[in-house]
């Protein structure tokens, strides 16, 4: 379902009306980018394009929306009539879904009559932010996983339902194998994963009875949670339950305690008892630091279920995306608010060998251009890749970035250069604004 056009900041609508009233309909270009990467992030992963396109294609005000705006006593009737037929008629450029990006690089550019381009800001930012935030956190977790399977278990503690869907989506994009979120399975066709909780065990007379009941219900997916009372006793009960029912034990899950120590012991017992094929799954409070530690200490874990710390990107819970006007009516623009510098003009990003170059759009840079046109005149002009295709794309791109960026313990800045033309334009505009300030202050 498309987002409501009212999922926006009020000032987008008051500006829209002020543009309407002053007859401002010239073409504007806005770019979405990050000035500096957040702490603990040496790279970011672009995600959310499908939601952006879906929002843009379906952007229109319903009768109830117009009635609500009318009730605010802010807007005159002729403007509300204008909103009734509002559609996006402009162009959109974007990085490919799953692309790796860095500081100052535009991930989207919107080009449209200024009131249309402005109106997109809040929803675009909201959607790209959460999807890219979680993809970027997920990529760090993937980077330490040494080929072990990762599953998204975060839904219960993501910031609401939309974030829960994005967590499933973005984690699969960056190499996870599935999610516990059933709705994401249905709507995004992501493999769904899950077995039992502690409450299930507690609802039976004893642990072994609970295990037997679960094995009988899912004879092909016999994965049991063994730490409700005591992990090693749980393992013994799981083995007995498997033997007594004749149903194979496919896996055991550990959700608490010293999982390095316990997983080694569990593996040893499983092997001794003839359960060599039984997998060990670990969950509970995991993130890239914890998984890295567990694997480096030689824990024989086959899969990890990753929850809260992934689903809230807890060590760095936001990215300072900004959506800035870079060109208006053919003229490059910039603001100079203190601490908020930016580069003027429409830009392109070129990926070169272990560095990126940002140029003005009309220059020809060397390397691989990253922004491509997705929407023209309000219409999608290319098939968007499926999530599986984007996942392949991410995995390929992630392979090719410098290894040192993937060290989760060290902050390292990837080199992003600016073309001479772009630097010259910035200097010229800075000079121009300084002169205006000089005159303005007198």
- The conformation of residue 153, written as its DSSP 8-state character, comes to -
**367: contact with a second copy by CB under 8 A:** no
Select the residue interacting with a second copy from 78, 246, 330, 337 (CB under 8 A): 337
**82: contact with a second copy by CB under 8 A:** no
Contacts of 284 (CB under 8 A, 6+ apart): 254, 255, 256, 259, 307
Q: Smallest distance, Å, CB 227 to a second copy?
A: 5
Q: Is 296 helix (H, G, I), strand (E, B) or coil?
A: helix
Select the residue interacting with a second copy from 82, 245, 257, 395 (CB under 8 A): 257
Residue numbers 6-45 binding a second copy by CB under 8 A: 6-15, 17-19, 21-22, 24, 26, 28, 30
For β-strands 100-101 and 149-152, DSSP reports them as: unpaired
Residue numbers 410-429 binding a second copy by CB under 8 A: none
Residue numbers 209-248 binding a second copy by CB under 8 A: 213-214, 216-218, 221, 227-230, 232-233, 236-237
What character string, x for contact with a second copy (CB under 8 A) and - otherwise, covers 134-153? -------------------x
> Cβ closer to a second copy: 180 or 419?
180
Q: Smallest distance, Å, CB 403 to a second copy?
A: 29
**381: contact with a second copy by CB under 8 A:** no
Q: Smallest distance, Å, CB 3 to a second copy?
A: 6
d(CA 232, CA 240): 12
Number of residues that bind a second copy (CB under 8 A): 117
Q: Stretches 4-12, 348-356, 359-367, 384-392: which one binds a second copy (CB under 8 A)?
A: 4-12
**353: contact with a second copy by CB under 8 A:** no
> Cβ closer to a second copy: 258 or 428?
258
Q: Stretches 86-94, 156-164, 377-385, 407-415: which one binds a second copy (CB under 8 A)?
A: 156-164
H or E element at residue 355: strand 355-360
Q: Stretches 63-71, 244-252, 295-303, 400-408: which one binds a second copy (CB under 8 A)?
A: 63-71
Contacts of 109 (CB under 8 A, 6+ apart): 29, 30, 31, 32, 92, 93, 94, 326, 346, 347, 371
Contacts of 357 (CB under 8 A, 6+ apart): 349, 350, 365, 366, 367, 416, 417, 418, 419
Residue numbers 159-198 binding a second copy by CB under 8 A: 159-166, 180-183, 185-186, 192-198
In degrees and rounded to multiples of 5, residue 129 shows phi and psi of -60, -55
**157: contact with a second copy by CB under 8 A:** yes
Cα–chain-centroid distance for residue 208? Answer: 41
Q: At what angle do helices 259-272 and 231-245 cross, to 10 degrees?
A: 30
Q: Smallest distance, Å, CB 134 to a second copy?
A: 8
For β-strands 178-179 and 355-360, DSSP reports them as: unpaired
Could you give the angle at the alpha carbon of 210 between the alpha carbons of 208 and 212, nearest 5°?
70
> Cβ closer to a second copy: 344 or 365?
344
Residue numbers 281-320 binding a second copy by CB under 8 A: 308-309, 312-314, 317-320
d(CA 295, CA 297): 5
Place of tokens 């070129």: 350
**60: contact with a second copy by CB under 8 A:** no
């Amino acid at each position: 379902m498309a987002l409501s056009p009212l999922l926006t900041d009020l000032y987008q609508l008051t500006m829209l009306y002020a543009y309407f009233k002053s007859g401002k309909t010239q073409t504007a270009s806005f770019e979405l980018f990050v000035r500096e990467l957040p702490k603990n992030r040496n790279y970011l992963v672009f995600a959310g394009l499908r939601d952006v396109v879906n929002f843009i294609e379906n952007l229109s005000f319903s009768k109830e929306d117009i009635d609500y705006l009318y009730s605010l006593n802010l807007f005159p009737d002729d403007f509300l009539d204008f909103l009734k037929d509002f559609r996006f008629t402009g162009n959109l450029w974007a990085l490919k879904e799953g692309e790796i990006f860095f500081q100052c690089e535009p991930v989207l550019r919107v080009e449209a009559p200024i009131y249309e381009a402005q109106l997109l800001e809040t929803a675009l930012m909201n959607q790209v932010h959460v999807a890219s935030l979680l993809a970027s956190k997920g990529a760090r977790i993937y980077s330490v996983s040494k080929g072990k399977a990762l599953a998204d278990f975060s839904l219960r503690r993501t910031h609401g339902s939309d974030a829960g869907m994005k967590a499933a989506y973005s984690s699969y994009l960056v190499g996870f194998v599935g999610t516990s979120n059933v709705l994401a399975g249905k709507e995004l066709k992501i493999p769904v994963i899950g077995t039992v909780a502690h409450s299930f065990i507690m609802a039976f007379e004893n642990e072994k009875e609970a295990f037997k009941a679960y094995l009988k219900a899912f004879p092909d997916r016999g994965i049991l949670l063994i730490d409700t009372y005591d992990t090693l006793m749980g393992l013994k009960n799981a083995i007995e339950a498997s033997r007594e029912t004749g149903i194979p034990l496919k896996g055991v899950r550990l959700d608490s305690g010293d999982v390095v120590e316990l997983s080694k012991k569990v593996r040893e017992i499983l092997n001794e008892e003839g359960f060599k094929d039984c997998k060990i799954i670990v969950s509970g409070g995991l993130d890239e630091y914890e998984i890295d530690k567990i694997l480096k200490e030689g824990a024989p874990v086959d899969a990890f279920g990753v929850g809260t710390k992934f689903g809230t990107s807890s060590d760095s819970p936001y990215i300072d995306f900004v959506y800035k006007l870079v060109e208006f009516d053919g003229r490059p623009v910039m603001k100079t608010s203190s601490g908020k510098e930016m580069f003027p003009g429409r830009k392109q990003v070129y990926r070169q060998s272990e560095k990126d170059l940002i140029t003005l759009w009309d220059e020809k840079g060397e390397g691989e251009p990253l922004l491509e046109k997705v929407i023209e005149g309000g219409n999608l002009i290319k098939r968007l890749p499926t999530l599986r295709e984007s996942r392949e794309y991410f995995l390929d791109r992630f392979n090719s970035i410098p290894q040192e960026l993937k060290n989760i313990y060290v902050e390292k800045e990837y080199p992003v250069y600016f073309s001479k033309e772009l630097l010259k334009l910035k200097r010229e505009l800075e000079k121009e604004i300084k002169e205006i300030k000089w005159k303005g202050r007198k």
